[in-house]
A and B are shown apart, each in its own frame.
Chain A
Amino acid sequence: MSISLHLYGTIARRAGGKHIATLTLPLEGTTTVRALLARFNIPPEETGLVFINAVLHDLPGLHLSLDDPVHDGDHVGIFAADYVWPYHYRGGAPMSPKLAAYTRNHDYLRHRPQEAK
């Protein structure tokens, strides 16, 4: 029972990496993104894009994914807060229902939707 966790950018240093940390973590039952970050003392505000099994769960500044469940066998990819995934390379990519619901009522074109005026 395990999950695979990839951390990218400055947050990788908190898990023994330089720019990237690649880890396989034992897991009993389910956990959450928040608990995974806590394991490495990574403050949520230092994170941005979050992927679970290739599905986008979070964008910089939103922190919508913190309580999303992570199950046995999942792959989780978490990027430092300053990574940017431009909309024209992102539009139409699969995303979590929670993020999809959010983007329906907010600006999804900008890199940090909350900053849209």
Chain B
Amino acid sequence: MTRKILRINMTDLSATYEDLPEKWAKWAGRGLTSSIVFDEVDPTCHPLGPNNKLVIAPGWVSGTPAAPSSGRTSFGGKSPLTGTIKEANSGGLSSQKIARLGIAAIILEGQPKDGKWYTIFINKDGVKFEDASDLLGKGMEEVDRIMWERYDHKPAVIGIGPVGERLSANAGISVNDPENNPGRYAGRGGLGAVMGARRVKAIVIDDKGGPGVEIKNMDLFKKGRKKLTNAIMAHDLTKKNGGLNAYGTDVLMNIINEAGGLPTRNFSSGQFEGAAKISGEMIAEMVAQRKAGMTGHACHPGCVIQCSNIYPGPDGTIIASPIEYETAFALGANCGIDDLDFVAKMTKACNDLGLDTIEMGNTIAIAMEAGLLEFGDKEGALALFDEIAKGTPLGRILSNGVEATAKIFGVHRIPTVKGQSMPAYEPRAIKGIGFTYATSTMGADHTSGYTIAPEIAGVGGKVDPLTYEGKADLSLAFQATTAFIDSSGYCLFIAFPILDIKEGFEGMVESVAGVMGWDPESMDVVEIGKEILKKERLFNERAGFTSADDRLPEFMRYEKLPPHNVVWDVPDEELDKVYAWVHEG
């Protein structure tokens, strides 16, 4: 039983199962999507044209029995938002089901000659192309519901909303969760438009009767799985009733606000007076008060961290799932909105229409700065989603993200790197993340540089916080480790326990090695990650990107951010050290 590549060509509506070639044999998840995009996609192609591809890959351990929190699916292609290579990954049902069908990656390529839209159904017997004209214009809530009515075995539904159909640059790809809601998104970078450009509305995966995932060394896998699970359950942040389980990712809201690093009102301040009202603590309070919804929700089967939530309205009916920190920052603080119910309503609209919440919230903040509406105008912000739903010219502009909207409305405070807007950490106040925002192969991305243990990063435990010395090397080690975890199928949040608990890191490595039949002693996580980064970096160079693109926006160099009143002052040559190795040796 060897993993297969499923190549789906929309030009002639063919599906072929190919043996996984040697050059891709060791890869999964992000390592595989980036390898395939590197090998098969012309870096100079238009992301929405016939020559781009959408690659979908589960991770190394996805679909294995009870590997903890291992349900991430990687989606890759050339991004319409950034023009760079892109990998965005999601929770939900898809990863484990694709893996259990014996599929290493789905490559979606071509465009139908007749311009028609299709749904693709994949099960153990093969691939069916079905007319999707009845689904056009429908939001993901309805699409998910219809797909579960139409197909048996509660399948995974990978789909795009109306925004993806219109090929907008902020179109995400939705994956349904265990309750068949569309809150799981490969959100960033507009890959929903890449899927839409292939005229695919939804991909439905039924793994019943599939061959399952081959585990080459079961004893090693089990040993690793146990160590990793124990570490997750022991760590303050990921344990039962720990920070993530109790309050979700929005546990960060009050911390980052106290630190003066919460981007507020289009990145004009680092503190928001209404932060507590949109924090994870408040979500927990609303769930308790309204006796509905839940915290500690699992976004995919087998997750032991369970950081998601289901947010209830005042009458106890469910508004949306989940309210993430990034969501609450972008649709809340960055728009000057301190009302969780409205944040939830806008989240629901994003999930249904097929929008990345970070880019969308930041886009509304640009519209506010441009004077289309006032900061804090929650009704006005919510009404903008009607424009998007109707596909009015304003709605179509907004669904193309921050840079497009800023250009059209004459705003110069544009918090983007390589066309992608910044997540919820102000780099002027929290300088370390600025290294990652600036140099990531993905554009401004908070999930590109998760910390690893100092001995693995090669810094011996000591990092002088007051100098830039060694920070470029640290950022590289973080980005490389993150690329490894993104390839594993494990949720990135295992990064916390594997940083602090040695056995947790060993468990991650051993469980991956067990599946793949590798010797864990000879695995160098940072070096494996660097192989992925190198492909991504070279793709971007061939697409026309240079070190001049590895910069934070100009306004951050001269506008002082309150309350610390600091500017971005990291020298360019420090940033250029992060990827200097790509062309050395």
- Residues of A at under 8 Å CB distance from B? 6, 8-9, 18-20, 22, 49, 51, 53-54, 56, 60, 77, 79, 82-95, 100, 103-112, 115-117
Contacts and interface: CB of A to CB of B under 8 A. Distances in A.
8 contacts: A49-B255, A53-B563, A54-B259, A83-B255, A85-B252, A88-B449, A89-B252, A90-B432
A53 B282 CA distance: 22
A91 B431 contact: yes
Interface in B458-482: 459, 461-466, 471, 474, 478
B453 interface: yes
Query: Which 5 pairs between the two chains have the least Cβ-Cβ distance?
Result: A91-B432, A92-B431, A54-B260, A19-B281, A77-B258
Contacts of A90: 259, 430, 432
Contacts of A19: 247, 281-282, 284-285
Given A88-B433, A109-B457, 9 more contacts: A19-B284, A54-B259, A82-B236, A85-B255, A88-B450, A89-B252, A94-B566, A109-B459, A111-B236
B436 interface: yes
Contacts of A88: 432-433, 436, 449-451, 478
Contacts of A112: 500
B430 A92 contact: yes
Nearest to B260: A54
A56 to B, nearest CB: 6
Contact of A91 (B255, B433, B446): B433
A117 B460 CA distance: 10
Chain B: number of interface residues, binned into ranges: 35 or more
Nearest to A75: B258
Contacts, number: 146
Interface of B: 236-237, 242-243, 247, 251-252, 254-256, 258-261, 270-271, 276, 279, 281-282, 284-285, 288, 425, 429-434, 436, 446, 449-451, 453-454, 457, 459, 461-466, 471, 474, 478, 495-496, 499-500, 502, 563-564, 566
Contacts of A9: 281
Contact of B451 (A56, A79, A82, A87): A87
Contacts of B276: 6, 20, 22
A8 B281 contact: yes
Nearest to A102: B465
B496 A111 contact: yes
B567 to A, nearest CB: 13
A110 B271 CA distance: 25
Nearest to B289: A18
B258 A84 contact: no
Contact of A93 (B261, B461, B463, B496): B261
Given A88-B432, A109-B457, A111-B496, A94 B462 contact: no
Contacts of A6: 254, 258, 276
A102 B39 CA distance: 48
Contacts of B450: 86, 88
Given A49-B255, A84-B496, A104 B462 contact: yes
A54 B565 CA distance: 11
Given A88-B432, A92-B434, A93-B261, A111 B254 contact: no
A94 B260 contact: yes
Given A90-B432, A107-B454, A111-B236, A56 B461 contact: no
A94 B496 contact: no
A83 B465 contact: no
Contacts of B243: 82-84
Contacts of A103: 463-465
A115 to B, nearest CB: 7
B456 to A, nearest CB: 10
A6 B257 CA distance: 12
Given A54-B259, A82-B243, A103-B463, A110 B499 contact: yes
Given A19-B284, A87-B451, A108-B465, A115 B260 contact: no
A51 B434 contact: no
A51 B258 contact: yes
B270 A54 contact: yes
Contact of B462 (A20, A60, A87, A105): A105
A51 B282 contact: no
Nearest to B436: A88
Contacts of B285: 18-19
B500 A115 contact: yes
A3 B436 CA distance: 36
